[in-house]
Amino acid sequence: MNILLITLIAVSVLVFVYFVRNAIKSYQEYICRQKIPGSTTKGPQLYEAVPYEGSKLAANVSVFIQRRVTKEYVFTNNLGFRVEKNDLQQLAPVDIAFIGCSWVMGVGVEYKETFVSKVSKALNVNIANLGVGSYSIIQAVRRLEKNIEFLRPRIIYYGFLKWTY
C-alpha cells in the first residue's frame, strides 16, 4: 500500500512539473511574439568601440533615451563617466570609484535616482561612476585599470546585478 501511494505521489509531481514547464515555455513564447517598440535615442552616439574594453561611454555626451517603460537623460564627463549634468569635469582624487554594469551606470533612471548618486549625496563624497551597460567583470576591471592612476580612489566598489530565470 505504501509503495502504491508513493508511486501515485511521484507520478502526480512529475505531471505537475511537466504542465508547469510547458505553461512557462508557452508564456515565454507568447511574450517573444508581442510587438514591443524599440528604444528611441536623441543625441550623439552614447557608446563607442575601444580595443581593450570592447566599448565604453563616449566622453562629453548628452543623450535622451526613451524605452517602452523608462526614459532618462544620460550625460557623460570628459572621461566618459556618467554624471548628473552636462559639461562636468571629473575631479580627482575620488573617495569612491564605482565599477560595474548597467546597474552601476543607472540604466533606465535619471542620474539622481541611481544608487551611485544616492551614496555620493548621503556620504558627501567625491565619486566616479565607471559603470557601463552590459559590462562584464573583466571589462569593469579594465576600465578601472585605465583610469586608476588619475582617479586614485580610496575605495573601489564593484556592483553587479545577476538575473536568474
Three-class secondary structure of residue 156 per DSSP:
strand
34 pLDDT tier (thresholds 50, 70, 90): low
The answer on pLDDT for 105 being more than 70 is yes
Helix H segments across 72-114?
A: 102-105
> How large is the average pLDDT for residues 8-18?
69
> How large is the average pLDDT for residues 90-95?
95
> How large is the average pLDDT for residues 98-113?
95
- DSSP-derived secondary structure for 5-46: HHHHHHHHHHHHHHHHHHHHHHHHHHHHHS-----EEESS-S
